[in-house]
Structures are given as structure tokens and as C-alpha cells.
Amino acid sequence: MVTGVLVLAGIVSLGWWLATDPVAGLTTSEPGADNRGENAVPLADIDIGAYTETLGSLESRLEGTWPRFRGENFDNISRSEIPLIESFPAGGPKVMWSLEMGEGYAGAAIYRGAVYVLDYDEGMRADVLRCVSLTDGTEIWRRGYRISLKRNHGMSRTVPAVTEDYVLTIGPRAHVMCVRRETGEFLWGLDVEKEYETEIPMWYTGQCPLIDEGMAIIATGGKALVVALDLETGGVVWETPNEKDWKMSHSSLMPFEFGGVKMYVYSAFGGACGIAAGGDHAGEVLWETTAWNHQVVAPSPVCLPDGKIFLTAGYGAGSMVLQLSKRGDRFDVEVLQEYEPREGLACEQQTPLVFQGHLLGIMPKDAGPLRNELVCVHPDDFTKVVWSSGQTRRFGLGPYMIADNKLFIVDDDATLTIARPGTRRYVELDSYRVLEGQDSWGPLAIADGYLVMRDSKTMVCLDLAAERQ
Amino acid sequence: MKKKEKDYSRREFIHRGARITLGLTVAGTGVLALARSGPGKETVWQIDPFKCTQCGRCADECVMSPSAVKCIHAYDLCGYCDLCSGYFLPGAKLETGAENQLCPTSAIRRQFIEEPYFEYVIDEELCIGCGKCVKGCAAFGNGSLHLQIRHDRCLNCNQCAIATVCPSDAISRVPADTPYLIKGDFISMEEG
């Protein structure tokens, strides 16, 4: 009797177990659930350079320059010998002028008394290259093109490249424009997204254009990895094939000479590489590695004389140190170090500085106890922190540079800090909140003792020359 | 000398004392109850999102299962980014597959709005209050995702079990008429 009941209960239980789906109430998360790509809008035809306005004239005796992203030598260090203040006067530094900007992070280039910045005019809905007097902020001319952009953590985020004759810009949707420096006369334009089927990086283009030996050098991604264009005509000089289909990152091309060979080092989405910059092999890939491959790469490569190349990125990527070597005509690259943000120097947005062989940079938020601190790491081991600004002195994603042997650091809220660069400890001299806005992430520019900085909506010029105080 | 006669008996004395004691007790309780139920005096537990370090204990320590702590989205602070560090695991493909998601219960729904915007909506039924999305959002995003105690679920215990273990002392009592500390609407109580 009992056995029969047990057998029956067992059969009923088995039947229930077989008939019941324990995951019936669950839903699966599968790709495509977000309907990505719906409502995609075809690319508009952009008439690059069509808009222009002449607003004034410029007569300046100033000779100083900060001609591009990271300055003359691509290191964010000013060689000007003009002494700068090391503390702020009561009431803050002297503001020479203030300019309302479209929301963004575009930085300025300075050339002989003129400031050049590629702004986004939100009222006109246009990328506009603005030429402004360095000393009084008067607008000299404007040149641009209408393009409808949506706010995507701001719009603008690049720095023009300037020479005696030319100004070269690249806009949020990778429209390249070349104009005469003094007059703003339009020379040529290139819609990189259309011509090279480039995928524009998230939050728009962050790559700053490069002028080198009479050519515009642009890392396009898409149908070509890097292209060189004649600066006068825009004609293609060479193109680097993009066989691995690497994508355009926010990082900028950095010229580097190693083993007697000049190259452009690029940290792309997909990998890092060195492209021959001249000679018979111009445009050829000298070396490449896919060991470095991250979704978001904003800082540019830091190339050191001994062939080390420091690569870093945010969003948890951390950093990698490559060692370049040359055997005959061939370059080899090996990974020396690879580590997470909490293990050594890493930067999310800005590119580190090299000071006396040491690297200086502001750590990202996911760097553990060192989060948002300015750190200095040892030349032989970038995980060895020599000093940091300390738990009571944290910064944000803003820029930093060296001028007159002083460190100028901008915090997210436009607080400008002056510190003494060194390899032993952090020495802060003074700080002052210059603007009331936020997201002061645009790169700094300095020339003739005038520092140009910005928050997300306002650009200002500060007179930091000690003798003019 | 003649002893003065008592005005009331022993029994009457005890009765009268008991009545007074009872009356005082009732009156005192009433006064206390009125005091506690007065406007703005009642309090509830809440998390200060500016002090929260997303340690994960809200998911485990709450007496409710799942936790009464849920992720809240302050949309006016959100960047509506394609790459949302509160939604995606670091380095993941930007697709909605479970293997790419940071949330262990898929409690965040991602929806394409128009180029380049994506909207992120919290499904509170699935949210367990682990704070992983909040940590990701705070690390690289605008910090629009943050944890709050939901008062339709919270039992308002005399002593909040999470508050006793919170390493950043982020949970405290707030007035019941302003029961939420939503980012963008207030500044940290510590700063304020």
C-alpha cells in the first residue's frame, strides 16, 4: 500500500517536473533590443567654407605662437622665456577678454597675436573658424559651413593647426577645412565621413589636425587609415591602406623620429601604429600592434626618445607601454607594460606631460585611492608613482601644461592652479576659479604671456606675464 | 488629641490614584503621538547619493528581498550616450546582449531614440539595488544613475539594517514630506 502511494507520488512529481518550465518567467536579453539604427538620417551635403564674414582687421606686434594641439613641439610645454606669475593677484588674474562659445571643448591655437578656434555657432548651426585678436578679443574674421549638430556632450572639441600661411581645421563630423591664415580665404575642404566612409567616433571628432611639411595629415579610418593632402590644393599626396579596418579615435597623430626615421604614431580604435612620414615609403605602415585596442581612446600617444610609446585611455582601459626597436630597415614593437588604471599612470582624456623623463598626468576616477590626483611616475616604470597631489588635491578631466617652468592645471569647474613641476613632490603655488561654468576640458594655449582657456560655453584670455602685472 | 478623620477611604484612594495614572498615561501617549504625526516631523530612511560609494551592501543587507533600494535615473543629468558606462561592461560590444550588460538582472532597458541618443530606463521590479550601474555611471558618465530607498517598498524599520553597515554613512533619516534625495534637485547634506 505505502509502496504504491510512493510510486504514484513519484510519477506525479516526475510529471510535474517534466511539465514545468522553470525559466518560463524569464526574458532573454539579446542584441538588437534597442532598435539601434532606426530613423537613420542620410548624410547631408555640406558646403564647406561657404560661410564667411570679415569683422575687423588685426595689427599686432606679438610674435609668440602656440600653433596647434600640444604646441610647437607636441609636448604641451611652452618654450617662451616670458616670466609668468606664480600666484594670482587679489581678485584673480587679469581677464583680457571673454568670448561666448557654442557648447564644447574646442581649444585655441595662437599665431602672432591672433587666436584661432573652431567653434560651433548654435544660433546659426554652423562650424565656424573664428579669428580673434589675442590681446582684446576683437573678432577679425569668420569662416565656416552650416551643419546641423545635436548636443552630444557638447559639439566642438578640436584645436586648429596653424602655419604662417594656413589654418587647418577638422569639425565634429570630420569636415576638414583649409584657409589662408591672415584673411580666412577658403582654399579647400574635405568631407572625411563621405569620402572615406569614416565612422565618426562617439561624441564627435576629437582628433586635432596635423600640418607637416606642407601637407595636411589626417587619420581618417574608413577606406584609408591615414591620408596626406597637399595643403594648398587638398590633393591627395598619399594614403595608407586600412586593411584591418581600424576606426578613427579621438586621439591625434603624433610625429616621432626614431632610428633616423620620421613617422606618425596613431592610437586608433583597433590598434596602434607608426606610419612613415616621408621619403619613398611615405604613408607605409612601419609597425603596428593590435595589443592596444579600446573603444574610447582620447589621449594621444606619448613618444619617448628611447623608443618607448605610452598609450592610455579611459573607461577602464588603463595603459600600455610599447617598446619600439629597429633592425636594419625593419621596426619591431613589443609590449613592455600593460596595466589597469589603479596600477599605474592612466589618463582618461588629456595626454600626459613628459618632465625630466618622468610622466605627469591626472588619474581617472577608476584609479582607486589615486583617483583624480595628479601623479608623477618613474621613467623606468610607469606603475611606480614618485609623487601625487594627495587625497586633498584632486582634479578632473581638464587640461594641464607647462610654461615658464610652472604647471598650469585646469579643473572641471575652470579653477586654474599653478604648481611647481618637479620629480620629488607636488608643490602647489596658487589657484583661482576663473569661470563659473563647467566641463573646462578644452586644451590650453599660451603665447606672449597670454593664456587662453575655456569652460563649456566661454573662452577667456588671461594675462599671466609677470612684468605686466 | 483627636485624630483628624480621613476624607476618603483607602479603596477610594487607590481608585483615584489608578485613574490619575491611567489618565496621565493616555494623555502622554496622545501628546507623543500627536508630536510624531505633526507636519514635517515624521522621518524616513534615505540615501545621500553624493556620499554613496556603491559598495553593494544595499542589495544584501536590506530586510526586504529584493532590497527596497533601487536605482533611480535623473534624466536631466543623463548624456543619453551610446556608450553608457552604467549599462555596458567595460570593453563590451555596444549591443543589448546580456553578456555586454553590467546589470546582473538586466534591469536597465536601453532604447535608441535618434542619432546619437539612447535612453536608459530602470525596471524597478528587476532592480536589486546592487549599485553596479551607479558605479559605472559615476566613473565615466554624468552620474545620473543613483540609488534611492523606495518608500513603497521600505518598511521604515526603527533601525535600518543597511544604515548600520553603510561604510560611507550615506543613509540617514530625512523628513517624510521630502523623502527622496534626487540628484539635480539638491546638494549633498554634508555640503548644504
| A326 burial type by CB count under 10 A (0-12 exposed, 13-18 middle, 19+ buried) | middle
Compute φ and ψ for B76, nearest 5 degrees.
-70, -15
Cross-chain Cβ contact B79/A152 below 8 Å:
yes
Tell whether B191 lies on the interface with A, counting CB pairs under 8 A.
Answer: no
Q: If you measure CA to CA, which chain A residue comes closest to B138?
A: A365
Answer whether residue B6 shows pLDDT above 80.
Answer: no
Q: Give the pLDDT of residue B189.
A: 47
State whether B116 and A152 contact (CB < 8 Å): yes
Cα(B159)–Cα(B78) distance, integer angstroms: 33
pLDDT at B33: 56
Q: Is residue A374 assigned to a domain?
A: yes
Percent above pLDDT 70 for chain A: 99
Smallest CA–CA separation between B165 and chain A, in Å? 21
B76 touches chain A (CB under 8 A): no
Under 8 Å between Cβ of A374 and A360:
yes
Tell me how long chain A is: 469
Q: What's the CA gap between B175 and B158, in Å, rounded?
A: 14
Higher pLDDT, B190 or B30: B30
**Residue A114 domain-assigned (yes or no):** no
Contacts of B87 in chain A (CB under 8 A): none
Residue A137 domain-assigned?
A: no
Average pLDDT over residues A282-291: 97
- Taking an 8 Å cut-off on Cβ atoms, the answer to whether B83 and A365 are in contact is no
Q: Does the structure show a pLDDT above 60 at A428?
A: yes
Q: Measured in whole angstroms, how far is the alpha carbon of residue A218 from the centre of its chain?
A: 14
Start-to-end C-alpha separation, chain B = 75
The secondary structure of B9-54 as a DSSP string is -HHHHHHHHHHHHHHHHHHHHHHHHHHHHSTTT-EEEEE-TTT---
Strand partners, A358: A355
Share of chain A above pLDDT 90, in %: 90
How high is the ipTM of this complex? 0.78
Residue A249 included in any domain: no
pLDDT of B144 higher than 50:
yes
Of B82, B91, B116, the CB nearest to A294: B91
Which grid coordinates belong to A153? 556632450
Compare CB distances from B112 to A31, A34, A316 and report the shortest one's residue. Answer: A34
CA distance B135 to chain A (A): 9
Closest residue on chain B to A348 (Cα): B140
Distance from the Cα of B87 to chain A's closest Cα (Å) equals 12
pLDDT at B1 (0 to 100): 44
Helices (H), strands (E): how many in chain B? 3, 6
> Domain range for residue A413?
350-440
Query: Is the pLDDT at A75 greater than 60, yes or no?
Result: yes
pLDDT mean over A234-261 = 97
Domain count, chain A: 1
Stretch A292-314: mean pLDDT, rounded? 96
Q: What is the DSSP letter of A190?
A: E
Residue B187 pLDDT: 53
Question: Can you give A5-21 as a three-state secondary structure string?
Answer: HHHHHHHHHHHHHHHCC
Shortest CB distance from B110 goes to which of A34, A150, A317? A34
In a domain, A336, yes or no: no
Q: What is the pLDDT of residues B24-41, one digit of tens each?
A: 776 766 665 555 555 557
B105 and A CB contact within 8 Å: no
Q: Is residue A455 part of a domain?
A: no
* Mean pLDDT of the A366-388 span: 96
Residue B160 contacts residue B45 (beta carbons within 8 Å) = yes
CATH code, domain carrying A423? 2.40.10.480
Q: In what order do the strands lie in the sheet with A236-241?
A: A210-212, A215-218, A224-230, A236-241
- Mean pLDDT (chain A) is 95
Residue A424 inside a domain? The answer is yes
Instruction: Look at residue B121 and give its three-state secondary structure.
Output: strand
Residues of B in contact with A316 (CB under 8 A): 90-91, 139-140
> Residue A293: is its pLDDT beyond 90?
yes
pLDDT in tens, B39-82: 557 999 999 999 999 999 999 999 999 999 999 999 999 999 99
From B70's Cα to the closest Cα of chain A, the distance in A is 20
Cell reading at A141: 574674421
Contacts 24+ apart (CB under 8 A), A425-431: A425/A387, A426/A374, A426/A376, A426/A387, A426/A388, A426/A389, A426/A390, A426/A393, A428/A389, A428/A393, A429/A86, A429/A87, A430/A86, A430/A87, A430/A88, A431/A88
* Residue B112 to residue A30, Cβ atoms within 8 A: no
Q: Identify the bridge partners of residue A71 per DSSP, sorted by sequence position.
A: none
Measured CB to CB, residues of chain A less than 8 Å from chain B are: 27-41, 150, 152-153, 202-203, 294-296, 314-317, 348, 364-366
User: Number of CB pairs < 8 Å for A and B?
Assistant: 75
Measure the CA–CA gap between A394 and A412, rounded to whole angstroms: 11
Please report the pLDDT score of residue B30 as a whole number: 61
Taking CA–CA distances from B135, the nearest residue in chain A reads A366
CB distance from B91 to chain A under 8 Å? yes
**pLDDT, position B14:** 78
Which chain A residues are within 8 Å of B111, Cβ to Cβ?
34-35
Q: Among A34, A202, A365, whose Cβ lies nearest the Cβ of B111?
A: A34
Q: Is A370 part of any domain?
A: yes
Average pLDDT over residues A169-173: 98
B84-124: pLDDT as tens digits: 999 999 889 999 999 999 999 999 999 999 888 999 999 99
**Distance (Å) from the alpha carbon of A295 to chain B's nearest alpha carbon:** 6
Question: Residue-wise over A150-179: b if at least 16 C-beta within 10 A, else e?
Answer: eebbbbbbbbbbbbeebbbbbbbbbbbbbb
Residue of A nearest to B77 (CA): A153
Q: What is the least distance, in Å, from the CA of A230 to any CA of chain B?
A: 33
- pLDDT of B97 reads 95
For an interface test with B, the pick among A23, A36, A205, A456 (most B C-beta atoms closer than 10 Å) comes out as A36
- pLDDT greater than 70 at residue B184: yes
C-alpha cell at A56: 575687423
Interface test with A, best of B95, B108, B144, B191 (most A CBs within 10 A): B95
Question: Alpha-carbon distance A136 to A157, whole Å?
Answer: 24
CA A55 – CA A73 distance, rounded (Å): 32
Q: Which residues of A touch B110 (CB under 8 A)?
A: 33-34
Query: Cβ of A34 and B97 within 8 Å?
Result: no
- Residue A5: burial class (beta carbons within 10 Å; 0-12, 13-18, 19+): exposed
**Distance between CA atoms of residues A350 and A202, nearest Å:** 17
Residue B53 contacts A, CB cutoff 8 Å:
no
For residue A49, count other CB atoms closer than 10 A to its CB: 20
Mean pLDDT of B139-164: 95
* pTM of the predicted protein model: 0.87
Q: Is the pLDDT of residue B192 over 60?
A: no
Do residues A203 and B81 touch, judged by C-beta distance below 8 A? Answer: yes
Cβ separation of B116 and A296 shorter than 8 Å?
A: no
The string of pLDDT tens digits covering residues A44-69 is: 899 999 999 999 999 999 999 999 99
Is some CB atom of chain A closer than 8 A to the CB atom of B121?
A: no
Contacts of A27 in chain B (CB under 8 A): 106
Confidence of residue A105 (pLDDT cuts 50, 70, 90): very high
Candidate from A29-43, A406-420, B138-152 with smallest mean pLDDT: A29-43
Query: Is the confidence at residue B190, as pLDDT, over 50?
Result: no
Confidence of residue B5 (pLDDT cuts 50, 70, 90): low
Residue A226 pLDDT more than 70?
yes
